[in-house]
Structure 1
Amino acid sequence: MKKSLVLISLILTLVTAGCGSKTGDVQNTAAPAKAKTKDTITMVWYPNESAADLKDARDEIGKVVEKATGKKVEHKTTTDYIIAIEAIANGNGDLAFMGAQGYIEANTKNKKVQPLVVNSGESGTLDDAIYYSWLNVRKGEEDAYKSGNGFAIDNIVGKKFSFVSNSSTSGFKVPSTGIVSYFSKKDKYKSLTAEDLLQGGKDKFFSEVLFGGSHQGSAVNLLTGKADVAAFCDTCVSNYVELSSGTANKPGAVYKVKQGAAEPFNTLIGKEFSLISVTPVLNGPFAVNTGTLGAEDIKKLKDAFTSADVKNNEKIFLPKGSKATGLFKQNTGKEQFVTVEDAWFNPIRELSK
């Protein structure tokens, strides 16, 4: 879609300006927060990070929380984005690793939900704290989306399409905004909205719409033939796939499911897919419910997450070239957790306006 220039420009421009922005008051619809003296901290995980092969990575983060606060950590894994978002918003969860869109939804429900830290970019700062939203097709079918020396998404119309969840930043919010931005310039689709992309059928934009429930699930929908085109992000499938040809995170790149990939990719070893569109997305936060955790614990958590011990913890930030499965990776040695304010996520808020 001309590499989603409009959307990319919006995001990258607002990444710089976002820190000086302010948001309006939003009504708190969540249940009133209770005690701040609890002995157990409940950590909530999205479906993407709830997989069995990521248990060690979750546990290592939990150990950081336990050491910092002196409290026991209980992990709450989920199979649905909404469950995770509701848990942190209504106080059933104290700390959650979320995407930007899910954080915004939780913050809208309860202003006491605030960002704690995000993982930095390769510079070690917020300046490049991004990952990538991909639109993908099976290897061998990418020619239908070529345009000159690049790619265009005109031919996604009428296809079976897989999103992740409508609460996913890179698996719905960003790709749906990009699709609407691209097609609404055409007379036939000038009234197209993101809601029009939620259901498929005759006379609909897509012939069928699926939701993978996780980025892994959306990728599986593509590779098993349930979907012709699928949205998912680079980081959530990086433990299972490897670059086969082309340049990483560039349209035209081909990835394949690597040997030894864990479920749900274990039956898809060697299957390949091609990127036809790539859009940068703001990294998601570890978010905290400030109504269920006190200021002292929150400060301890910020100090712990941003410490050199965590930055250098190879079970949290996998060293470059590591074959282990984890949540975060070191490429330059500068990657770390950095504190962030709510306003930093305003670029994603803008996508809903």
Structure 2
Amino acid sequence: MKFKKLLTTAMAAALAVSAFAGCGAQAEESTETAQTAESTGEYADTITLVWYPNESAEDYDVARSEYARLIEEATGKKVEQKLTTDYAIAIESLANGTAQICFMGAQGYIEAKNANDAIEPLFVNSGASGTLDDAKYYSFLAVNKGDEGEYADGDSYSIDNIAGKRMSFVSNSSTSGFKVPTNSIISHFADQNLTEDDLIEGGEGKLFSQVLFGGSHQGSAFNLLSGKADVAVFCDTEIAPYASCTEGEANTTGSVYTINSDASAPFDTVTGKEFVVIQSTPVLNGPFAYNSDALDPADVKAIQDLFTSDEVANNEVIFVPEDSENVGMFEKSENERFVLVDDSWFDPIRDLSK
């Protein structure tokens, strides 16, 4: 499957600036407007859909347009899309009502809901079974091929020797790119009494010699492959457009991935390079979430009815078959579809902060 992605930073940044300039300053006004809409039953004629940096890539234009088209079909309202280069911008815009819908990871959803209890899950993508039972993806800790011997532990790998290395994360609002792996690292080095704050910066007295944030899963992976980091965290779904599992079983510890010869930028500069997964952790799929103060309940119902239908489950732009040339966010291997979920389903991620 060709899921080519290109991080169009300049374009996304320009849109983000124009759409969200003064986002924090507008928070109070936007929240007040959303609450007024809820109390009066009057909602905006335009629904704003905001995307994380990962999904703001230029090659997702067609897929993003299909999501907008489907929301317009369901509601009869115009949909405006906003791209971002920063997780925090997307999360804040949903929480304060600047945007009504956002596709986000579980951690971002939790942060948005902590900021505004009106945030609710719209739906999530299922696993291959078509249910929540296998609705998960994987968080990788990876090293460049050739360095994996430093982390060998019998027939498997240990993260003991990540201490003192240059580490790349995604964003501290990322579920699989920060929250889940840092929880694992803190547990592994329990004798050091580490906190998340101890892992955000590197240097003397810290676990890592240097800490980088890629800003996206693609950015974190590229930090590793370009030699800026010794170890990097990123997820399987965001690296899938650029790399193929060439040794071992996909998504498992010890598997080896090779950057595809036709990988798009920035990976076109590191084609053929390999990385080894030294730890793979399952993560709950993130939701499309909405602001219930800013989105008409009738629109919520209409959107949920359409997106959980067989029509959308069989839409090859939304759920892309393995042999398709389409560029999409989710693969179709068996019975993948969108399913409804309630807030409590994300408690395992929420509990990581307790």
So what's the TM-score if we normalise by structure 1?
A: 0.89
Q: How far apart, in 1, do the equivalents of 2:188 and 2:119 lie?
A: 34
Show CA shifts across 1:101-134 (max 9, x none): 0000000001111000000011100111000000
Residue 9 of structure 1 corresponds to: none
**Distance in 1 separating the partners of 2:221 and 2:268:** 13
1:339 is aligned to 340
* Contact 1:97–1:284 (CA under 8 A) maintained in structure 2: yes
| AA at the equivalent of 1:46 | Y
Q: State the Cα deviation string for residues 42-85 of structure 1 (Å, max 9, x = none).
A: 10100000011111111111111011011111111100000000
Q: Structure 1: which 4+ aligned runs deviate by more than 6 Å?
A: none
Residues 134-190 of structure 1 show CA distances to partners (whole Å, capped at 9, x for unaligned) of 000001111111101111000000000000000000000000000000110x4xx1x
TM-score (norm 2): 0.89
Task: Choose the corresponding residue for 2:188, options 172, 177, 182.
Answer: 182
Could you say which residue in structure 2 is the equivalent of 1:242? 244
- Residue number among 71, 90, 99 corresponding to 1:93 in the alignment: 99
Does residue 81 of structure 1 match 2:82? no
SS state of the match for residue 279, structure 1?
strand
1:299 to 301, 310, 330: 301
| Segment of structure 1 superposing worse, 29-38 or 164-173 | 29-38
Matches within 5 A, 1:82-231: 82-184=88-190, 186=191, 189=192, 191-231=193-233
Q: Tell me the equivalent position of 1:7.
A: none
- Alignment gaps of 5+ in structure 2: 1-26
Shift of 1:320: 2.5
Query: Secondary structure in 2 aligned to 1:203?
Result: coil
Determine the C-alpha separation between the residues in 1 that align with 2:265 and 2:80.
Answer: 24
Task: Find the aligned partners of 1:224 and 1:318 in 2 and give their Cα distance.
Answer: 30
The reply on whether 1:348 has 2:349 as its aligned counterpart is: yes
State how far apart, in whole Å, the 1-side matches of 2:58 and 2:270 are.
18
Out of 281, 287, 290, which is 1:288 matched to? 290
Q: How far apart are 1:265 and its partner, in Å?
A: 1.4
User: Quick one: which amino acid aligns to residue 144 of structure 1?
Assistant: E
Q: In the comparison of the two structures, how many residue pairs are matched? A: 321
Mark the runs of 5 or more structure 1 residues left unpaired by the alignment: 1-27
Per-residue deviation at 1:323?
4.2
CA deviation map 1:185-234 (0-9, x unaligned):
x4xx1x11121101001221100000000000000000000000000000
Counterparts of 1:277 and 1:322, CA distance in 2: 30
Cα-Cα RMSD? 1.3
Asked whether the equivalents of residues 316 and 326 of structure 2 are also in contact (C-alpha less than 8 Å), the reply is: no
